[in-house]
Structures are given as C-alpha cells and as structure tokens.
Amino acid sequence: MRKFNIRKVLDGLTAVSAVASASSAAQQQQAGNRETEIQETLQSEHFQLCKTVRHGFPYQPSALAFDPVQKILAIGTQTGALRLFGRPGVECYCQHDSGAAVIQLQFLINEGALVSALADDTLHLWNLRQKRPAILHSLKFNRERITFCHLPFQSKWLYVGTERGNIHIVNVESFTLSGYVIMWNKAIELSSKSHPGPVVHISDNPMDEGKLLIGFESGTVVLWDLKSKKADYRYTHDEAIHSVAWHHEGKQFICSHSDGTLTIWNVKSPTKPFQTITPHGKQLKDGKKPEPCKPILKVEYKTTRAGEPFIILSGGLSYDTVGRRPCLTVMHGKSTAVLEMDYSIVDFLTLCETPYPNDFQEPYAVVVLLEKDLVLIDLAQNGYPIFENPYPLTIHESPVTCCEYFADCPVDLIPALYSVGARQKRQGYSKKEWPISGGNWGVITQSYSEIIITGHADGSIKFWDASAITLQVLYKLKTAKVFEKSRNKDDRPNTDIVDEDPYAIQIISWCPESRMLCIAGVSAHVIIYRFSKQEVTTEVIPMLEIRLLYEINDIETPDGEQVPPVPTPGTGSNPQSIVPQSHPSTSSSSSDGLRDNVPCLKVKNSPLKQSPGYQIELVIQLVWVSGEPPQQITSLAINSAYGLVVFGNCNGIAMVDYLQKTVLLNLGTIELYGSNDPYRREPRSPRKTRQPSGGLCDINEGTVVPEDRCKSPTSAKMSRKLSLPTELKPDLDVKDNSFSRSRSSSVTSIDKESREAISALHFCETFTRKADTSPSPCLWVGTTLGTVLVIVLNLPPGGEQRLLQPVIVSPSGTILRLKGAILRMAFLDTTGSLVPPAHETWREHYEDKDEKEKAKKRRPVSVSPSSSQEISENQYAVICSEKQAKVISLPSQNCIYKQNITETSFVLRGDIVSLSNSICLACFCANGHIMTFSLPSLRPLLDVYYLPLTNMRIARTFCFTDNGQALYLVSPTEIQRLTYSQETCENLQEMLGELFTLVETPEAPNRGFFKGLFGGGAQSLDREELFGESASGKASRSLAQHIPGPGGIEGVKGAASGVVGELARARLALDERGQKLGELEEKTAAMLYSADSFSKHAHEMMLKYKDKKWYQF
C-alpha cells in the first residue's frame, strides 16, 4: 500500500490517496461524497496572464528626450527599455527586443512618434498614438556605428552621425536612407591632417535650415552648406568637444570641452573663439590660463526676451574638489548657481516655452536625469527650487528586500495612511505645477483598493496606494529608529551578525483590518507596531529577549534515539528565556568567555517620540547563545484577535503574547514533535556544528561557508527560504545558479544534516484533533521538511481578563506531512469559501480605557458543546509546499485531494487567493511557470511559462494577491505588476492612459517686415529637393537594412492625420500588397494608390512651408 502511494506521487497523479485501514477509507469516501456538493465556479477561461504596468525609476538610464508640445518625457535605458511619462498617472513601458542600450531619443514633435537610436546601430520609429506604443520601422546600419542623431523640428529628414565621421540622412516616413551623404574628408578637407573622430553633434542653424553645424570629437566644428555640398566655415580647437549649442539668432554657438572650458564662437569668425570661459576654474594671476577642470559633458544656451541668456552645463568641476557630488551649473548673467545632485548626471534638458529654435527660448525648467533619480529644477524662481516629483520613482531609495501585496483592503485604510504620511512631506518645493503634463488618464474599471508594502535594507517600510494600476507612496516607517546607531565602524558592537544593513527587513506580517504590523529583521529582531493617529512619547521601549536553542542539551549522547519529554500544557514557555523587559541584558559572556545572552542590536534607553502612524508596541530580539549567533527568522505571523505573534527559524519557534508582553512558547523544532518525531536525530551542540549566519540549508548542497559572520546578507549562500539577501544582486554567479536542480526531498535532506526550519505559520480557528467536535483557536506550523504540526491555543476571556490571565499553549499531537518545505496554509468552510483568521477591527489605542473595554468585542474563539455544530460541518485545510498541494478534510484529517505541482523544480511562492467570487491556489515556480489550481479539488486551471528565475530578487519579491493581481521586483528600482485574470486583461486597454493627445502646434515666430525685406529671419529649405531620390539618388543597399516593425496595421490605424501618419499609411498600403520595397516603380505606384488619402494634406503642408512669400508672413 505504501509503495503504491509513493509511486502515484512520483507519477504526478492526482487521484485520492490510499489509506491503511478500511475504516479510514470509508471515512474518506464519505468526505469525498460531501466534497462533491461544493460547486467550483472557476474554469480555465477565467485565467489569462499578461503584464499590466511597470512602476519605479527606469533602471540604468542612458537617454532622455522631451516633446515640448505634447509635454511627454521619454527615458531610454542600457537594457533597451523605453519609459514614457506624461501627467502624473500616465506612464508607459516599452522594450526593444534586442536589449541593446538606448544611446539617443528624438521626438517627432507633436506627431505622436519617437525615434530611438541603439548601441547595436539600429534606429527604430515608435508610434505613440496607441496606448501600447509599437515599432513601425527599424533601420539597421551594417558598416558604421551610430554616434549622434538630429531631427529638425517639422522635418522628415533625420541626420545620423557615425563613428567614422560621416553623416547619413534617413527619411523617417519610409525609414530609408537618402543618397545624400556628408563624408568626413569632404567636411574637413585640408583643415586637419588626421581623422577628426566620431560625430558628437549635428544641428542646423536656427535661422538657416540650409546650414548644418557638425561637431567632431577631436575639436573641429564645420558649418556645412547643404545646397552647395561644401563647408562654409571650419572652427578648430585643441580640446576635445563634448557638446555644441546654438544661440537662437544663429550668429553664435557655444562648445563644451574636455578641459572644463566653454568656447563661444561667432559664426563668421572661424579663426578663434569670441570668448573662452572656465566656469569652475581658479583664475590665476599674471594672466595665466586657469587650471584645467573636469570635462563639461553637456552645455545648453537658452535666450530670454527680458534678460540675460541662460548657459546650463553638467560637469566641469575642478580636479581638487575630491568627493564633491555631481553638479549642474546654471549661469545667468553675472550669477552662477552650482546645484549639487545625489547621483551622477546621465543627461539633462532645458524645457522652453517654444518648440521653434529660431525664437527666444524662454526656458522655465531643467529636467535632470540622474543615475538613480529624476529631478526637475524651476528656473523661474529665485534659488532654483526643485519641483515635487509626483511619479513613484523612490522605490529604490534604499534597496528593496521584501514586499507584500494586498487587494480589496478596508476602504478607510488608504485615507488613514495618507493622512499620517502627508505630515512627512518635505518643504521648499517649487510652487508651480509639474511641467510634464501630457496625455490623458485611462478609465478606472476597478472599484477596490490595493496596497503594496515594501521593506528596505535600511530598515524602512513604505506603504503604497496601488489602486487602479497607479502607484503613489502613502507613508514611510523607519524601524531603525528604535535602535542605537553606531557612529562609525569602530563603534559597532561585536554582536552584529551582518556587517552591512543590520536593520534590513526580511518578513512583513500585516493585518489590514486591525492595522497591526509586525516585521522581522536580518539581525534576528521582531518589532510589533500599532497604528495611532495621535503623537505619543514612549518613556521606556517595551522589549523581550529570547534564547532560541537548537540542541536539546549541551551534552552529546551516544544514544541517538533519545527523545525529549513532551511539554505539558501550559508549561511551554521557558522561564530562562524571558529577560526582564525595558532594560537590555547586561551579561555579555558566559563562563568560558563566549558571547552569551546578548542581542545583535541595542535598543535605545532614552524616551522615544513617536509621530502619528505606526508606533512601537514591542521589540523582540533573539540573543547569542554560548558564542553561537542567533539564526535569522524564516517565518512570522501576527493575530490581532488573539494578541499573539509567532516566529521561527532553523533552531525553533517562539510565541509571544504582545498584550501581556510575555513569552508563551520557546521550543526547538525537534521538541515540537514530542515523542512523534519521525526522524532519528542526534542532539548536538551548536558549537560543534557551527553554521554561517546566512541561515538554513543551502540549495547548493556541496557548498561550505567557513565564515561565521557574513560580510553582508548577500554574501550568504541562498537559504532554503530564499529570504536572505538585502542587497539586490542582478544576477547569480554561475556556481550558484542552481535553480535548475531539484532540491532535496524530506528524507534525503536529513542525510545532509540540515536543520529543520519553521517555514510557514498560520493562526486559525479550526479542528485541532480528529476527535474534536468544534473548532478552536490554534496555530498551524509548517517546516522545511514538509511537516505540519498543530499547536492549541487556550485564550482567556476578553476584556480585562485577557490582560490578567495567561494564554495556555500546548501541542496537539496532530502531524501531517507533505513533500518539500511548507509554504502556505489556508482553511475553507463547507461551502468552499475561505475562512479568514480571526481579527479585531482597528480602533484608536489611546482612547478612554473604560470606553475601550466596553467597545472591545473579540470574535468568539471557543464554542460550547451544546451549541456546537455537528461534526459533519467540517472544514478543509489547504496546504501548499515546494513540491505539492494537499486538501485535508477536518476533523477527520483525511487527504481528499492532492496535486504534485512540480517534480523537477520547486515552488517559490504559493498563495490562496480570491478571484471572480471564488478562490484558487496560485503558484510561481523556480522554472518560471505560473500555475493556478481550483479549490478544493486542485484541478489545474493555468500553467504558463512566464519568466526564468534569473536572480534572487525575483524569488524574494514575487507575490500574488486577490482579484488576479501579482507583482515582483523586475529590477532593483522597478516593480512589475501582472494579472492572471481574464477580466482584467480585457479591461486593461481601457485602464491604460493615452500618451498622445491632439494639441495644436504653436504659431511660428513672426519675422517682421524689415527682417523679411532685407533677408533677416529664418531661411527655409526644401529638403525633399536635396535629399529625395530624384536629386540624390539611392543609398548603398549594403549600408543599412530596413526592417518592418511589429507595430503593423494597428499601429498606423491609431495615427491621426499628420505628415508622418499619412505617409506611414501609404507605406502600409504598399506593404499589404506584398510589393518589394525600395524600387522607384513600386514607390510611385504606392503614392498613386494612396493619393486620395493624403494628397490634400501634403499639398497644404507644402504651401505652408515652401511657397509663402515674405509679405504673407
């Protein structure tokens, strides 16, 4: 019988488990018959997996662009991602398939399109006129590397500079190359004996589109006449150029150089600069040149009607400013403001009132893209204050170490968190509205509220409003405030078990209804918080210290079968484990000089002022035992109705009554079994088998870590609970990339001498033993060896008695087993509905005591036999482990359903969640599969390969919640949300915001009568005549390859009228007919075919920009 059962497990069958006796088989059949009464409504068609939105700061940003008419900001990254930002709440994420770094972005201003240039020498045209932008065309350069691009306002011809110093011209409508090429040797001719280097700048003269300014890296600048195809002027300088910018009148331009200087040139005086400025150089006496400074990486030159121009630059600091933070310098008239940044500057852009380069620019703000932040500076106010950033870009302020996701929260919760969080906001921001204001919000189809909680490496916790696919920070809690800080490394206590981030959050347990919060930190500490709207000063911080031992005794016995005595009910607490609260222990070493009875962190002994919000109820710390550091906590649970918190690690389990501030239970894992321990284990002293503070048994079983103290949580090997690293590693080392291996099963892991850790805890009100006739409060404990044990809780009556009488805790003797570490437990009633753990509703803790006691109504937790339900009114326990899931009928404890989730991998996260008025089990496996199963029958409903587990960050942060929502940290700075609900997938299009809105382009600046009469003002250029195929011929086919984009028909259908939109439609018509591209006959045919749709518009555009005489302006 036993063999048959195991074989079925191995074969992955989901049939009813065989049992040993006929009577239990009959009971099981009866349970199975009752089970058929539960109607399961969830079917496979209710499930569909898709990404919804990505929040947070773009990871490793590399490029920046702004559409001044649409008011949309674009950021490209080193991994080929594209993030678009409009007004707060309008965001979009796209990805280039190649994953190559974005080196430059160029908007087709007010056209709803964007060109991206990538490090793999491809250009892509994105259509932004649809809610999910798509690529319309791509162009791959084969022989030359792209270094710089320039697209003049209202032009369809894109200038592309290359590493060889040549300039090619691309038609952005057809995404084909023009035959017109500016070769480097023609541009510089005899002005230089050597190659001028890559093209670092291209721009046309604001007043004459026929003159192109080309900057070469070596220091040469050329003003090229497009019509005559020759250079008008060449400007040479002996310092390398980083950037160039025009004065709007087109008579002067400014260059930034590698020696920290700026040179201003008059267009018609190429021999020497009109002026040389060293913004941060020390002016030496005797007229000597100032000392060289660091390179000025970028400069912008912006004019105003009413006053002096702005010169804005990044870099250029003197070399002796060691340790100074990166700076943006704003020079305005005689004043120079140096604005320090927290991170290095990737790029910046000045936002101006006009999109026309030949008008007074009137700058009003600067967007500064930093390595890990986005800053907007208000240029119009004195002191240049920054704008308050409304985007959720501070997820990574300190690295995220864990997160939890809650859907359908109580309606008053978000307003309560927002009101206490509003007091934490900084002052001194610009009073103006956020200037990036483009796009429109989507339609909100969700009525429920969602909250995300992130735990961080510095001990902070952030609460986020995540309702309706948006994200906004509500409140930040600093848990490290309760501990004494060491000023420097020499000061640090030698009791630390980690060298970095000792306050890092590992586990969060939160009860939304009662607002009770409990956290476990990396230094084996647990803090319980209560929510209050009133400020309070805590004179003495309540604290407990607990000795949680692994070994039964300190003496090795030759008899390996020794069994510890079963603790009698009520005597589960270890009196030696409780240190008198409110003062830290003084004993720091045992008789043999080893550290003993000391916690890892020191709690402050001075009064602590606590603002409205989360306030400390109790601090619990595990202490060193005879030189052995406390092991990190692997599981945690809090219950507000019972007033209890429980946590466990690889040594054992501890339960604390946080109302009475007493330890109720302190047992080694082996002691939990009592006489029922199925494993032959020899008690051992921790000193003989020292284990790294990294925690539990390694996935990579052959690895030995000799150090006791980890340099940081990241240096520890991956623990079985996958909850260790606090610093977010982007990738695993090859030697540690062991996710493909199946982890050891319950039996073989014993051979590895691994400790059995507590991996799951669940408070509930259910049947604890087979003979029970009514449910009672209990705690279900799951271990890494696949064992589930039940502990009975005997609670005193509510009110005053609850604070005076002790809670009695005793093991029930009930033991259940699964394959693999236990991850999650939940309970269903006879109708198949989820039975939530008992909880209290939140009320202000500091109200009048008498009123508080009268109002206190705790959910009844024991039912008298006379009123108890019949035994047929049973419950079902749902238990999910790393390998399988079981549904067990209670009180009979028969396994009625079993599902082997995975044989070759293991489950990282399993959650029992509600969806479409029903419930299911959702699992994320290490092999990248997301699966859902019906409850209680565990029928597979969804199995999708979603993403490979490439790093620990995904494993540690992935979580499911109700209503088909899930999330994980996709990069150290970004949260990716996804849905597994078909209904949400269908509504997603409506919920997403629109990036493109119809905005009229501002009128061009008026040239004035005399400027037009005497040849002043802007000179237009018929670029079509110069660059079109009829004038310049065809480009070499081997130079670049055109690739049609996946944006396809849908992409262009969304495009409204506009030069690019209309001609893209013509292009599409040509594609659909399957004709070859690039031949003149086909092009002509396509233009005729689509003439009706765009000829009128094209004619109007031509008349507007070409045929107007000077007196018509």
**Residue predicted with more confidence, 719 or 30:** 30
Residue 137's closest CA among 1099, 1078, 1091, 1092? 1078
| Class of residue 927 by CB neighbours under 10 A (exposed 0-12, middle 13-18, buried 19+) | middle
d(CA 717, CA 1057): 58
| pLDDT average, residue stretch 95-100 | 94
The tens digit of pLDDT for each residue in 436-488 reads 999 998 887 777 899 999 999 999 999 999 998 889 999 999 999 999 987 65
SS3 call for 303 = coil
Angle made by CA atoms 1013, 1015, 1019, in degrees to the nearest 5: 120
The tens digit of pLDDT for each residue in 824-883 reads 999 999 988 999 998 988 988 776 544 445 444 444 443 333 333 344 468 999 999 999
d(CA 818, CA 456): 33
The tens digit of pLDDT for each residue in 655-690 reads 999 999 999 999 988 888 877 777 766 554 443 333
Place 1033 in a pLDDT band, splitting at 50, 70 and 90: low
Token digits for 667?
């047992």
Which pLDDT score is estimated for 483? Answer: 93
**How much helix, strand and coil, in percent to the nearest 5, is found in the chain?**
15, 35, 50
Place 573 in a pLDDT band, splitting at 50, 70 and 90: very low
Contact 922, 407 (CB under 8 A): no
Number of helical (H) and strand (E) elements in the chain, helices listed first: 17, 59
The tens digit of pLDDT for each residue in 312-350 reads 999 999 887 667 789 999 999 889 999 999 999 999 999
Q: Which of 82-96, 421-435, 927-941 has the lowest mean pLDDT?
A: 421-435
| Class of residue 953 by CB neighbours under 10 A (exposed 0-12, middle 13-18, buried 19+) | buried
Token digits for 756?
């059995």
Q: How do strand 310-315 and strand 296-302 relate by DSSP bridges?
A: antiparallel
Residue with tokens 């919640």, as numbered in its chain? 961
Got the DSSP string for 244-301? EEE-TTSSEEEEEETTS-EEEEETT--SS-SEEE-TT----STTPPPPPBS-EEEEEE
d(CA 80, CA 118): 8
The tens digit of pLDDT for each residue in 202-248 reads 999 999 989 999 999 999 999 999 999 999 999 999 899 999 999 99
Which pLDDT score is estimated for 540? Answer: 92
CA atoms within 13 A on the CB side of 1043: 15
For residue 539, the tally of other CB atoms under 10 A from its CB is 8
Got the DSSP string for 488-514? SGGGS-TT-SBSS-TT-EEEEEEETTT
Helix-helix angle 1059-1072:1080-1089, to 10 degrees: 110
Contact 647, 633 (CB under 8 A): yes
**Residue predicted with more confidence, 199 or 12:** 199
| pLDDT average, residue stretch 406-426 | 91
Task: Report residue 648 CA to chain centroid gap.
Answer: 28
Place 161 in a pLDDT band, splitting at 50, 70 and 90: very high
Residue with tokens 């993403």, as numbered in its chain? 947
Residue 13's closest CA among 1062, 701, 831, 900? 900
| pLDDT average, residue stretch 750-756 | 55
